[in-house]
Structure 1
Amino acid sequence: MRGDGNGFVENPDGTKHWGLHGAAGLLLRAPAPDGTALILLQHRALWTHDGGTWSLPGGARDSHETAAEAAVREALEEAGIAAEAIRVRGEQVTAVAPSGWTYTTVVADVVEALPVTPNNESVEIAWIPEGEVELRPLHPAFALVWPELRIGYRDEA
């Protein structure tokens, strides 16, 4: 049943969102040498929705997946980060559309900034210092929630 989430959901106003069963992304943190956090970001390929922007690895949920399962799978597919290396800390629905579609951000940690391997959906995958995330051209939806996510995950530590 893998892969049954690929497709667009259309809202009453005609706007569309990717993921027939919703979508999820992984806010993956690693410790930086100075004690701050590094955040794994994906520079989206130009052919993707809002291509050329930076966001979290993520994508469509399949019908049998939780948000965490989907986000961890997407991190493997898009960045080469193995599920065994990831410690999920929590999740938050960060977007809801009139159609009922949702986007869930899953917050997780790794013990160190692991090597990454981008797939064809990425121009680049990089560990970015937390304080520099907003300096990049962010995906519009991620830009809206990043300030809240940045504060929120610290509360969970």
Structure 2
Amino acid sequence: MGRIPELYTGDGLVEDPDGSRRWGVLGAAGLFLVTDDQHVLMQHRAKWTNRGGTWALPGGAIDVGESPTDGALRETWEETGVGASSVKVHREIVTSTVPVKTAYCRLPVRDDERHLFAGIEKIVERNGDPRQALREFPVRHPNLDASLDAHGIFGLGGTFWWEYENPEITEWTYTTVLATCTEHLELHPTAESLELLWQPIERLEELPLMPEFKASLPTLRAAVDSL
């Protein structure tokens, strides 16, 4: 990958040409899980998430080394408690592809790098705002190519990360993984969900859906009909 670090995570943001942002520099995936009686597992997204307050599929960013199916199943387990052993995966369907203007990749700060943020932590003790402190006193990665401008940020998980732009990422895709299960499985929502629900497939539009998910429904219903 040239000057880009070979080991980076799928964490980070991509910015579209119109300025909108999407999570997951390697794309994202969700699980369209349908029961034998034609109900779909739906997630009411927490207010702090992208498109918070709308309904969509459990899912999220694909990590390094994961297929879209792997990512969708992992995220579904993390967000709903539904495990891969309880579902039958049928196929992957790319339901959204957008060009990327800028990709902001993130690397976790290692234990041996924590000391670089000691000054920021002291400032935070006084005013409690690590983001503002990092804007005023930027922390740069000591080893990566300086042209990457890998700098410290504070965010996901309430911790510090390194963030840098990756010009090699030029496209972002969302993959919907079609799967089935025999019954309404027990659900265990986390902080990413306001609510989880088994909704009849013919009544999905009764929910305030995420626009991108709503646009994909004709394709997804046709895929279910073909099973």
* The two structures share one fold, judged by TM-score above 0.5: yes
CA distance in structure 1 between the partners assigned to 2:187 and 2:181 by the alignment: 13
Among 125, 140, 144, the alignment partner of 2:211 is 140
1:16 alignment counterpart = 21
- What do you get for the CA RMSD once the two structures are aligned? 1.2
Aligned residues: 150
Alignment of 1:49-68 (within 5 A): 49-68=50-69
Shift, 1:13, TM fit: 3.2
CA distance in structure 2 between the partners assigned to 1:43 and 1:5 by the alignment: 23
- Listed one character per residue, the Cα deviations across residues 51-97 of structure 1 (whole Å, up to 9, x for unaligned) are 11000001000011000000011110111001111110001101001
Is 1:102 aligned to 2:103, yes or no? no
Give the 4+ runs in structure 1 shifted more than 6 A.
none
CA distance in structure 2 between the partners assigned to 1:8 and 1:42 by the alignment: 22
Q: Which amino acid aligns with 1:94?
A: T
CA distance in structure 1 between the partners assigned to 2:183 and 2:29 by the alignment: 23
Among 4, 7, 16, the alignment partner of 2:9 is 4
Shift, 1:132, TM fit: 1.2
CA distance in structure 1 between the partners assigned to 2:10 and 2:196 by the alignment: 23
Q: Which amino acid aligns with 1:140?
A: P
Shift, 1:12, TM fit: 3.1
CA distance in structure 1 between the partners assigned to 2:57 and 2:43 by the alignment: 6
Is 1:31 aligned to 2:32, yes or no? no
1:120 alignment counterpart = 191
TM-score (normalizing by structure 2): 0.64
CA distance in structure 2 between the partners assigned to 1:93 and 1:151 by the alignment: 14
Q: Higher relative contact order by CA 8 Å / sep ≥ 6: 1 or 2?
A: 2
CA distance in structure 2 between the partners assigned to 1:19 and 1:55 by the alignment: 17
In terms of Rg, which structure is larger?
2
Shift, 1:153, TM fit: 2.0
CA distance in structure 1 between the partners assigned to 2:17 and 2:219 by the alignment: 28
**SS at 1:71 equivalent:** helix
- Listed one character per residue, the Cα deviations across residues 83-133 of structure 1 (whole Å, up to 9, x for unaligned) are 111110001101001120100000001121100001100001111111111
